[in-house]
Structure 1
Amino acid sequence: MSEKPPYWAAPEVVSGEWASRRALAGAIRVLSERCITSEVDGDALARAEGLVRSAAALLAGAQKTSGAAWTDRTYPHDIQRYVDRGALVGQCNPVAPPLRITHRDGVSTCEVTLDERFVGAPGIAHGGVVASIFDQMCGHAVVWSGHRALTIELTVEYRHPTPLHRPIRFDARVSRVALPILHLTGTGLHQGRTIATCRATFKEIDRATAERLFAPADEEGRGGR
């Protein structure tokens, strides 16, 4: 049975500034990969650099991080927007693949095609990227199950290389709960073959712990460069 997305999940359809931010992030993803793979000459690269720096200057006004939003108490009111800026799932984050995770019958699942931005050895994804995806998948499974918890241990078994430019399916589920500890397992599949598995341990935290951990460590680091 498909489960209704939790209140914090970013909506599929957005408008206005939010939609523009998603579109900008998508364009930057294309640019980022071409920065890696393009064989144009140095003059073209220099012109591209100038254009990018000019674009960055357009966005050099007021800045706000998720940590700052947590501190000033606006984060809960805009939680969907900040989730949509996450490093792996955020459609507004150009660093993200991004992962599009669904949840059904207790299992969090996504299918993602990793491009050259995530290269490790030639033609395959960096193992750290695979581990990060497993961590994200397990985190989603935990929160979707109704718990607030953080990773305290993640073990990945790499059985086969994870190819770039091919669809990879990841899943994760809560396998055992002994509060405050939750145990999870996950699998990565390519064309039906298991290429990696994970085991994770999460620890549930209360509101006071979240308040202590989530505040930004360096208030001076909130500004853009």
Structure 2
Amino acid sequence: MHIPLAEPPAAAGAEHLEQQQAAITRLGHELRALVEATVRTAASADTLHRVADGVRHVTGQLTGRRRARTEIPEVDGFPGGPRMYSPVVGAGSPLAPPVRITPTDDGLIGHCTLGIAHEGPPGYGHGGMSAMLLDELMGQACTAAGTPGLTVSLQMRYHQPIPLETPLRIVGRVTGTDKRKIFAAGTITTQADPSTDLVTADAVFITPDPDRTRALFPGLEEEA
């Protein structure tokens, strides 16, 4: 008789994590489609009431223990790893574009397309979305450079409005450090015209000392 060998715990844990992240990604994709359809629809009031009842029913299926405010999701790699529910890069977030980030020689580059759900002026992205995109890219650039920090200053300059449903290019890079301070810069352009800045930003981040880090992120202590 052949008796299958037990899977090593580490391998079983990695497989569970991958399955969970895949399921979260799929749900996030469908939720983003729902949000986009919701803000574009011209359906009747009766239809909207019927859909609202259906959404309430679906929400009721997400039972079980709920994550506490300071708890780091088991599917996340904080800091420096994937953030599944981030409103900027999270594949599981119904709010995120989401941004896909790759490293460059001197920082990070992100790609995304904003939908109608991110609208400010008709046809263009909300200015707060631009700030959130750049804050994320510059913050991740700090982490990628080995100097993770929290935003303490963010100066935005809006040159032209960000068009919706247009592939965008977001760049973040570290420009200098001073003890625990990290200075960064970022830009948003379209992918089709990367030489024309639509929004630019400068930011200052600061690396909290160990005591402050423990106070801000008690979940890191629990994981350790």
Per the alignment, residue 43 of structure 1 pairs with: 46
Question: How high is the TM-score relative to the length of structure 1?
Answer: 0.82
The yes-or-no answer on 1:212 pairing with 2:215 is yes
> How far does the alpha carbon of each residue in 1:129-184 deviate from its partner, in whole angstroms, 9 at most, with x for none?
10011100011000000112100000010000100000111101101111211111
Per the alignment, residue 18 of structure 1 pairs with: 21
Per the alignment, residue 7 of structure 1 pairs with: none
TM-aligned CA deviation for residue 66 of structure 1: 6.1
Does the Cα contact within 8 Å between 2:76 and 2:84 map onto a contact in 1?
A: no
Does the Cα contact within 8 Å between 2:139 and 2:148 map onto a contact in 1?
A: no
Letter in 2 for 1:61: G
Q: 1:78 to 1:135 in 2, by over 3 A?
A: closer
1:78 & 1:215 partners in 2: Cα distance?
15
Per the alignment, residue 146 of structure 1 pairs with: 146
Work out which of the two has the higher radius of gyration on C-alpha atoms and give 1 or 2: 2
2:178 & 2:55 partners in 1: Cα distance?
50
Higher relative contact order (CA closer than 8 Å, sequence separation 6+): 1
Per the alignment, residue 155 of structure 1 pairs with: 155
> How far does the alpha carbon of each residue in 1:77-104 deviate from its partner, in whole angstroms, 9 at most, with x for none?
9526872222211111111111111112
Aligned length: 199
Per the alignment, residue 200 of structure 2 pairs with: 197
1:200 & 1:123 partners in 2: Cα distance?
28
Question: How high is the TM-score relative to the length of structure 2?
Answer: 0.82
1:37 & 1:90 partners in 2: Cα distance?
22
Superposed CA RMSD: 2.1
Which of 77, 80, 88 pairs up with 1:79? 77
1:148 & 1:208 partners in 2: Cα distance?
15
Identity over aligned pairs, percent: 28
Moved over 6 A (4+): none
TM-aligned CA deviation for residue 65 of structure 1: 4.0
Letter in 2 for 1:44: T
The yes-or-no answer on 1:130 pairing with 2:130 is yes
User: The residue matched to 1:134 in structure 2 has which SS?
Assistant: helix
Structure 2 portions without partners, runs of 5+ = 1-16, 220-224
Structure 1 portions without partners, runs of 5+ = 1-13, 217-225
